[in-house]
């Protein structure tokens, strides 16, 4: 999977891309993350990418031209799915994560400030996507969420396939069972006896009991 990220703050991604499983996925070429500074596509010497909204209002709005230029530069005529993060977008859930993880390439637009010129959606055929019913300072955090949730479903990114298969939301909105580890008794709290019984059939029944979720 190739992730193309259009952002105003490319430095935000340095630690994210150089840590843990994401770094391993990049180093092993299972994913590629390409970051584009939106200001590089501004037309004027001041690198202007935003302007006051027509009709008045607080804050600044991202202009359509720099974003469209960035997308054209990335796509080069190819049909690459494009996502723009927005509070009014479709909610990202595990079902859509599975669908997106099958893509070979995707463009992620990360807005900032008061929002973006609505014409961007029409001109780029972008899908609006939200990660929850709350307001963030911009689209970079949702982009990282998108990369992490989709890339971990790509074969080889997470070490054990069982980790993916048995986790929360892997099927029918199933929530993963509670987890316990050593010691068996800690501050008077005991591990459920069935988990140390050695009876694998009963252990599997316990794990599937919805009362644990």
Q: What is the CATH number of the domain that holds 146?
A: 3.40.1280.10
Reported confidence tier of residue 176, pLDDT bands at 50, 70, 90: confident
Same domain, 31 and 67: yes
Dihedral angle over CA of 196, 197, 202, 203, nearest 10: 20
Indicate whether 195 belongs to any domain: yes
Same domain, 111 and 184: no
Is 134 known as a binding-site position?
yes
Same domain, 146 and 189: no
Q: What is the pLDDT of residue 104?
A: 98
Indicate whether 169 belongs to any domain: no
Which of the pair, 166 or 158, is modelled with greater confidence?
Answer: 158
Is 136 known as a binding-site position?
yes
Same domain, 202 and 102: no
Q: What is the pLDDT of residue 166?
A: 55
Domain span holding position 201:
177-208
Indicate whether 170 belongs to any domain: no
CA atoms within 13 A on the CB side of 173: 1
Indicate whether 74 belongs to any domain: yes
On average, the pLDDT of the chain sits at 91
User: Strand 127-130 to strand 32-37: parallel, antiparallel, or no bridges (unpaired)?
Assistant: unpaired
> pTM of the prediction?
0.85
Is 54 known as a binding-site position?
no
Q: Which of 74-88, 128-142, 155-169 has the lowest mean pLDDT?
A: 155-169
Same domain, 201 and 134: no
Q: What is the pLDDT of residues 20-66, one digit of tens each?
A: 999 999 999 999 999 999 999 999 999 999 999 989 888 899 999 99
Q: What is the pLDDT of residues 91-109, one digit of tens each?
A: 999 999 999 999 999 999 9
Indicate whether 168 belongs to any domain: no
75-88 mean pLDDT: 96
Is 132 known as a binding-site position?
yes
Q: What is the pLDDT of residue 110?
A: 98
Please state the domain count of the chain. Answer: 2
Same domain, 134 and 182: no
């Amino acid at each position: 999977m190739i992730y193309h990220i259009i952002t105003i703050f490319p430095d935000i991604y340095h630690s994210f891309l150089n840590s843990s499983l994401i770094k391993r996925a990049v180093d092993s070429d299972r994913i590629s993350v390409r970051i584009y500074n939106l200001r590089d596509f501004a037309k004027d010497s001041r690198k202007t990418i935003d302007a006051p909204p027509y009709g008045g209002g607080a804050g600044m709005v991202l202009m359509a031209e720099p974003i469209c230029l960035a997308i054209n530069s990335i796509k080069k005529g190819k049909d690459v799915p494009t996502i723009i993060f927005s509070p009014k977008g479709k909610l990202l859930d595990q079902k859509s994560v599975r669908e997106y993880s099958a893509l070979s390439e995707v463009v992620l637009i990360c807005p900032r400030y008061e929002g973006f010129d609505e014409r961007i959606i029409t001109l780029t055929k972008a899908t609006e996507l939200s990660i929850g019913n709350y307001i963030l300072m911009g689209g970079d955090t949702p982009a990282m969420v998108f990369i992490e949730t989709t890339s971990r479903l790509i074969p080889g990114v997470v070490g054990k396939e069982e980790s993916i298969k048995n986790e929360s939301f892997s099927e029918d909105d199933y929530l993963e069972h509670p987890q316990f580890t050593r010691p068996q008794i800690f501050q008077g709290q005991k591990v459920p006896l069935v988990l140390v019984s050695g009876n694998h059939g009963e252990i599997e029944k316990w794990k599937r009991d919805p009362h644990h979720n």
